[in-house]
Copies of this chain bind each other. A is one copy, B any other.
Amino acid sequence: MSDEQELGITESKQYNTGEWYAEVVQKAGLANYGPEGMSGFIVTRPRGYALWESIQNYLDGEFKKTGVQNAYFPLFIPESYLEREKDIVEGFDPEVAWVTHGGHEELEERLAVRPTSESIIAPYMAQWVRSHRDLPLRVNQWASVVRWEATETKPFFRTKEFLWQEGHTAHETRDGAWDETMTRLSQYQSLYEDVLAIPVLRGAKPEHDKFPGADTTTTVEALMPDGKSVQAGTSHYLGTSFAEAFDLTYTTEDEDEEPAHTTSWGLSWRSLGALIMTHSDDQGLVLPPTIAPEQVVIVPIWQADTQEKVLDYAKDIAEDLEDAGVRVELDARDERNPGFKFNEWELKGVPVRFEIGPNEVDDDVVTAVHRPDGDSVELDRENIAEAVQAQFDEVYAKLYAAAEENLEENVREASERNEILGTIGQHGGYVKAPWCGDEACEDEIKEQIAAEIVMVPLNDEDAEIHDGENCAVCGDDAEETAYFAKSY
């Protein structure tokens, strides 16, 4: 870290969320904005990329345990391929970056920088699948995609290029493909709830907001502290539309030729945005121990006459933790005082700080301080590696509980238009309301307060209740329960 770096976060999360977020991302060393002429692009610095690697490792492990293999498809898609599935071309054409020249030659056909890869993966799956014995077929790729949206850059949340994984599968039956869709949605939910300490809601996107060409788009939605919802991962049951467009068929046991049922599912570095936004505070980044690059930082506190004994003790503890697989950093810099170090590691989001001075050495203990609440506890030197795991669990539980409380307090009900508008206007969060299913009713809300229907419950247990209920906006018969919210 350079001398010139200013450590303090100056913006307020509560009053100035957007600027605060941008400041945390930059000062914690997660990302920089792209170069001049490339607004919408970011540079992901090592501390930011390490978080993405943790997410990758977790999901990749879950995918592989459940039959998914990684592959890699070309970065470019010929325009004619993109055009073969009409919903895809309508949905993505306005935001495609086009390669028109290779070297000094103009290309005969423009190539799309992939905005998503169904249009190039499906035709290859079609080559690989002959019979029902080749199904299910499951491939995933970790890659970047480009969507040329002209909105303001928000690192990880909204960028023209983003890192993600996209899984693509083919199945014999609708049921097989639907189970797959749900399996992946559940894995996304686990990532959020078990790794990132963020509870999510599961649902489906309304018809008019589905992935282009999909039969059903399912989503996990996370509520941010500013009251807006993040579409945190989506899993699509594509029906047979892509299979039909790209001749992805198989022969059944009876030698009939049938189109496969396909799925696709993607999770991007937006998950990083949700992580940063949910837990961090006006001192900087806050990370759950599950994902923090350093889980413990040891800050030794010495005077000239105690330096040696304090440092020896601290090193010994660092070694113990390392041997136990704990990610630990011993900050033994001589040129910085403990207060400076506290601030720096708080900014960087280390979940547990060990403070070790002469007293700790004499008493054979360490003082462990939690991020973000500053709670401190004295731990015995003996079995320190075990004891610290309990601290990690505690920190994780606190972060999760805070996020859960925010979510639970912010799902409200409404039965008429003004109630929707008023509740979201005042509190943010989700408003559940009976809905007729018509996009026009969403538009009315959108125009007034820029809130939209972010999901409808997946298993509509409220189905019966809708008997006799009316759409909160237009008053026609209600068909579904809509979750209105402002959205990232």
The answer to whether A74 and B120 have CB atoms under 8 Å apart is no
Complex Cα distance, B43 from A76, in Å, reads 11
A50 at the interface (CB under 8 A from B): yes
Chain B contacts of A52 at CB under 8 A? 72
Complex Cα distance, B127 from A43, in Å, reads 12
The answer to whether A3 and B133 have CB atoms under 8 Å apart is yes
- How big is the A interface, by class? 35 or more
The answer to whether B102 and A100 have CB atoms under 8 Å apart is no
The answer to whether B74 and A38 have CB atoms under 8 Å apart is yes
Chain B contacts of A127 at CB under 8 A? 32
The answer to whether A102 and B148 have CB atoms under 8 Å apart is yes
The answer to whether B144 and A75 have CB atoms under 8 Å apart is yes
The answer to whether B41 and A139 have CB atoms under 8 Å apart is no
Nearest CB of B to A36, in Å: 7
Complex Cα distance, B35 from A78, in Å, reads 8
Q: Which of B41, B104, B130, B139 meets A74, CB within 8 Å?
A: B41
Chain B contacts of A1 at CB under 8 A? 134
The answer to whether B120 and A76 have CB atoms under 8 Å apart is no
A163 at the interface (CB under 8 A from B): yes
Chain B contacts of A146 at CB under 8 A? 75
The answer to whether B38 and A76 have CB atoms under 8 Å apart is yes
A426 at the interface (CB under 8 A from B): no
Q: Which of A9-17, A108-116, A316-324 contacts B (4 or more CB under 8 A)?
A: A108-116
The answer to whether B49 and A71 have CB atoms under 8 Å apart is yes
The answer to whether A34 and B74 have CB atoms under 8 Å apart is yes
Nearest CB of B to A434, in Å: 37
Q: What is the copy number of this chain in the assembly?
A: 2
Chain B contacts of A130 at CB under 8 A? 2-4
A113 and B139 in contact (CB under 8 A), knowing A49-B71, A76-B38, A80-B37? no
Q: Mark A40-59, 1 if CB is under 8 A from B, else 0.
A: 01111110111011000000
Chain B contacts of A46 at CB under 8 A? 69-71, 139
Q: Mark A93-115, 1 if CB is under 8 A from B, else 0.
A: 11111111111100011010100
Chain B contacts of A32 at CB under 8 A? 124, 127
Nearest CB of B to A93, in Å: 8
The answer to whether A72 and B98 have CB atoms under 8 Å apart is no
Nearest CB of B to A245, in Å: 14
Q: Which of B35, B93, B128, B134 meets A81, CB within 8 Å?
A: B35
The answer to whether B94 and A37 have CB atoms under 8 Å apart is no
Among A71, A81, A130, A161, chain B packs the most CB atoms within 10 A around the CB of: A71
A173 at the interface (CB under 8 A from B): no
The answer to whether A37 and B95 have CB atoms under 8 Å apart is no
A75 and B43 in contact (CB under 8 A), knowing A35-B120, A99-B97, A134-B2? no
A50 and B74 in contact (CB under 8 A), knowing A97-B102, A124-B32, A127-B32? no
Nearest CB of B to A289, in Å: 20
Complex Cα distance, B121 from A201, in Å, reads 39
A45 and B74 in contact (CB under 8 A), knowing A3-B133, A32-B127, A124-B32? no
A73 at the interface (CB under 8 A from B): yes
Q: Which B residue's beta carbon lies closest to that of A42?
A: B74
Chain B contacts of A48 at CB under 8 A? 71
Chain B contacts of A8 at CB under 8 A? none
Chain B contacts of A74 at CB under 8 A? 34-35, 38, 41-43, 161
A123 at the interface (CB under 8 A from B): yes
The answer to whether B50 and A69 have CB atoms under 8 Å apart is yes
Chain B contacts of A124 at CB under 8 A? 32, 43
The answer to whether B96 and A98 have CB atoms under 8 Å apart is no
Complex Cα distance, B44 from A78, in Å, reads 18
Q: Which of B103, B109, B134 meets A96, CB within 8 Å?
A: B103
A131 at the interface (CB under 8 A from B): yes
Among A50, A74, A124, A163, chain B packs the most CB atoms within 10 A around the CB of: A74
- Excluding A52-B72, A75-B113, 12 further A-B contacts by CB distance (< 8 Å) are A36-B78, A37-B109, A38-B74, A43-B120, A49-B69, A49-B71, A50-B70, A72-B144, A74-B161, A75-B75, A98-B102, A113-B113
Give 19 pairs: A residue, B residue, CB < 8 Å, sorted on A: A3-B133, A35-B78, A37-B109, A37-B111, A41-B76, A43-B72, A43-B74, A43-B124, A44-B72, A44-B73, A46-B69, A50-B70, A53-B70, A94-B103, A97-B101, A97-B103, A98-B99, A98-B100, A98-B101
